[in-house]
Structure 1
Amino acid sequence: MQTTKLSFKDVTKFYHDGETTVEVLRNVNLEVGQGEFVAIVGPSGSGKSTFLSIAGALLTPSSGQVFVDAKEVTNLSKKKLTETRLKEIGFIFQGANLVPYLTVLDQLLVIPVLNGERKVGKKRALGLLEELGLMHRKNQYPDRLSGGERQRVAIARALMNDPEVILADEPTASLDSERGRKVVEMIAREVKRENKAAVMVTHDERVLDLCDRVVRIEDGRLAEAH
């Protein structure tokens, strides 16, 4: 039986703009299971970024429940939300978001330091760099890397805390079609091999065939794409 790793139950998010209430997400329900890679597509302003922020415990919903690895995170304190992000969730950002003054290896070693697990970090970091074909670049700084290499470093960094859920925000946006596809193939491979759950927000229809499911979001509502 497949284990659910990320679950949204009747999640709504709204903001008050003066006397107007703006609903960004409306009664969203979604379950992502172990070993499943889900793409979320939709026009700008449809609620994709808000969905990803709530899934990543960066925002709390106005109503509804969110579960990460079967634990409800909806009403956690700021400290507990931070712990959840550090231990359970791996983020892959658009444009990689690497720290310019850290080498490739040090980009990864920051994560276990934040988790208070400094000793276990280096072996895992080197293993991930080996897997992703980056060992020969481990002492380089981001400005010496290609766009594809920077995104591979971002994937390795996202996997450093051995997260249950991987969230990718437009990971192909700054890449050409060939490099973009390779990056998404790597995410898909890691999801299957390590039994993770992953959600990718994307505009890139050329990589949707690599996902198990495609979900469309429009006006804050989710619907399975056919």
Structure 2
Amino acid sequence: MTLKMEHIYKSYQDGDKEIEVLKDVSLEVARGEFVAIVGPSGAGKSTFLSIAGALLSPTSGEITIGDERLSSLSKKELADARLQKIGFIFQGANLIPYLNVRDQLLVISELAGEKSKTKKAAADELLEELGLGARKKNYPESLSGGEKQRVAIARALMNNPDVILADEPTASLDKERGHAVVQMIADEVKRKNKAAIMVTHDERVLDLVDRVIRIEDGRLYPV
């Protein structure tokens, strides 16, 4: 397994009251597997994804990516793991307005302390794969919504992470563009043998995933 979440609990203190957001959540996602998490607002989807991506720590439970248990890592090691082992695709593409398309990818490598000509070649190859080869010198303002999300997919794959996490990647797209973007994520998951989780409200794209899991009242239920 590439991603393993074991007996995850997450609670917050609200005055004298303790609010449980996640309750005994366990999930394993293998290489090459694309899993969708669906559920109503307030069910714990965002908290779940933040914990899977090491942005939040669970109150209790264990997360393992590859053969690395996240609870054993220092703060610096955890930050390195986020850069090198996890690729995030956010609800909005979150592109940096003053960087062109190719540089959006290269900045990820630079954050990880890697600068080389091979990284430029890797960025160009990813952009070609996703149909953006001719747009690599364009800036975000000149891209369509679908193109921006494709750049976000390429950026998430730039450091060859073990796990891809997508947070509502179709939220700002129409049906056709949304389906095309999720199809690209699915294709890349298979082509590059990644484990992937997508949180979504969009039932129109569920035919593209391997498994659908519902989250409700902080617990996971197979669909």
TM-score (norm 1): 0.97
Partner of 2:218 in structure 1? 220
Q: CA deviation at 1:76?
A: 2.2
Where in structure 1 do 4 or more consecutive aligned residues deviate above 3 Å?
Answer: none
Q: CA deviation at 1:77?
A: 1.9
SS of structure 1 residue aligned to 2:71: coil
Cα separation, 1, equivalents of 2:221 and 2:129: 35
Partner of 1:203 in structure 2? 201
Q: State whether residues 164 and 197 of structure 1, in contact with CA within 8 Å, keep that contact through their aligned partners in structure 2.
A: yes
1:177 corresponds to which letter in structure 2?
K
Q: Which residues of 2 match residues 169-184 of structure 1 at below 5 A?
A: 169-184=167-182
Out of 23, 26, 38, the residue aligned to residue 29 of structure 1 is 26
1:88 corresponds to which letter in structure 2?
K
List per-residue Cα deviations over 1:91-148 (Å, max 9, x = no partner): 0001101001110011001011111111132010000011011011111110100000
Q: State whether residues 60 and 75 of structure 1, in contact with CA within 8 Å, keep that contact through their aligned partners in structure 2.
A: no
Cα separation, 1, equivalents of 2:48 and 2:219: 10
1:159 corresponds to which letter in structure 2?
L
Partner of 2:183 in structure 1? 185
Partner of 2:87 in structure 1? 90
Cα separation, 1, equivalents of 2:64 and 2:108: 23
Partner of 1:43 in structure 2? 40
1:112 corresponds to which letter in structure 2?
S
Cα separation, 1, equivalents of 2:133 and 2:32: 26
Q: Which residues of 2 match residues 67-86 of structure 1 at below 5 A?
A: 67-86=64-83
List per-residue Cα deviations over 1:140-181 (Å, max 9, x = no partner): 110100000000000000000001000000000000000000
TM-score (norm 2): 0.98
List per-residue Cα deviations over 1:50-92 (Å, max 9, x = no partner): 0100111101100010111121102422111101001100000
Cα separation, 2, equivalents of 1:179 and 1:109: 25
Q: State whether residues 46 and 218 of structure 1, in contact with CA within 8 Å, keep that contact through their aligned partners in structure 2.
A: yes
Structure 2 spans left out of the alignment, 5+ residues: none
Partner of 1:65 in structure 2? 62
Q: State whether residues 14 and 21 of structure 1, in contact with CA within 8 Å, keep that contact through their aligned partners in structure 2.
A: yes
Out of 123, 126, 131, the residue aligned to residue 124 of structure 2 is 126
SS of structure 1 residue aligned to 2:84: helix
Cα separation, 1, equivalents of 2:214 and 2:73: 28
Cα separation, 2, equivalents of 1:74 and 1:35: 25
Partner of 1:108 in structure 2? 105
Structure 1 spans left out of the alignment, 5+ residues: none
Partner of 1:9 in structure 2? 6
Aligned residues: 222
Cα separation, 2, equivalents of 1:136 and 1:195: 26
What percent identity do the matched residue pairs reach?
67
Out of 164, 167, 176, the residue aligned to residue 166 of structure 1 is 164
